[in-house]
Structure formats: C-alpha cells, structure tokens
C-alpha cells in the first residue's frame, strides 16, 4: 500500500433519514492508510481512535435552489503500531488526516456544521498477527441551514 502512504479516501457520504432543507445529518465512511504502510496492532487496551472537524471551503450553485457545499474534514487518527520485536508494545502514534467532501445543501448562506461521533476499525486485518495498515473511519455530522 505504499502508493496510498498517509492518504485518506472518502468511500461514501449518505444522508440520514428525516433530513430536511433546514437541517440534515450525514454519515461518512473514510479509509486511512498509515504513513509508510505502518502496521497497526489490534488491541482492546488501545483502540484506534479518530477525531474530525469540518470547514466549509465553498458553496456553488448547481441548480435552482440547489448548492454543492465543499467541506474539508480534518483531524487525527491514533493507534498502536505493531513492532515485531515487541508485539503490540510500541508507543502510540497519531497521524493527521483530511478528506474533501461534497455535500448537497439548499441554501447559499454558510451553514453551521456540528461534528458527531467517530468510530474506527482496522481494515483487512491479517489473521496471522492481527494487524493491518489501513483504518476504516465512520463519522457523523449535521448541517443546519445558514441564516
């Protein structure tokens, strides 16, 4: 996975049911590949964690009353790297993450973005040593229409 070294990719962005023109909530799924393809140890005592914040980059009209809001999701992911000479006994690592999102909105005014919960899991865990070099990040956020 060296070509994906330190990159984060958006897999999906889905609105939650019940969203309205004034308030919508979204679920995103990201995959982060560790810097240098570093292997991660799967430990309950040190779970993989991430935090995200969202910044509006631009809002572009794409139709009558329809807009495309470009969001930048930034934050960090923390994990315990795998060390073959001392399995799962290394020091924790924190890496920066970012992803660009394209979110549909119905107003040109800058909305309020509220981060929700973020959960993480190792992606493609190797059975032999219970390690991986990529992380699935699932997060929620809400968008309230601007004034």
pLDDT tens-digit series, residues 8-21 = 999 999 999 998 87
β-bridge mates for residue 73, sequence order: 54, 99
Q: Enter the tokens of residue 90.
A: 């290394």
Please indicate whether residue 22 or residue 113 has the higher confidence score (pLDDT): 113
Please indicate whether residue 124 or residue 9 has the higher confidence score (pLDDT): 9
Rounded (5°) CA angle 126-132-138: 120
Q: State the residue for tokens 């399995």.
A: 87
Q: Enter the tokens of residue 14.
A: 């889905």
What confidence score (pLDDT) does residue 16 get?
Answer: 94
- For the segment 23-32, the average pLDDT, to the nearest whole number, is 95
What confidence score (pLDDT) does residue 1 get?
Answer: 42
């Amino acid at each position: 996975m060296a070509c994906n070294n330190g990159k984060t990719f958006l897999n999906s962005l889905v609105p939650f049911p019940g969203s309205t023109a004034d308030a919508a909530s979204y679920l995103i799924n990201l995959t982060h590949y560790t810097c240098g393809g570093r292997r991660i140890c799967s430990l309950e005592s040190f779970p993989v964690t991430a935090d995200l914040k969202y910044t509006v980059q631009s809002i572009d009209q794409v139709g009558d009353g329809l807009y495309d809001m470009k969001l930048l999701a930034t934050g960090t992911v923390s994990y315990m790297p795998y060390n073959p000479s001392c399995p799962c006994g290394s020091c924790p690592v924190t890496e920066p993450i970012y992803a660009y999102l394209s979110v549909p909105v119905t107003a040109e005014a800058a909305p309020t973005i509220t981060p929700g919960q973020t959960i993480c899991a190792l992606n493609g865990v190797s059975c032999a040593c219970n390690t991986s070099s990529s992380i699935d990040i699932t997060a929620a956020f809400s968008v309230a229409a601007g004034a």
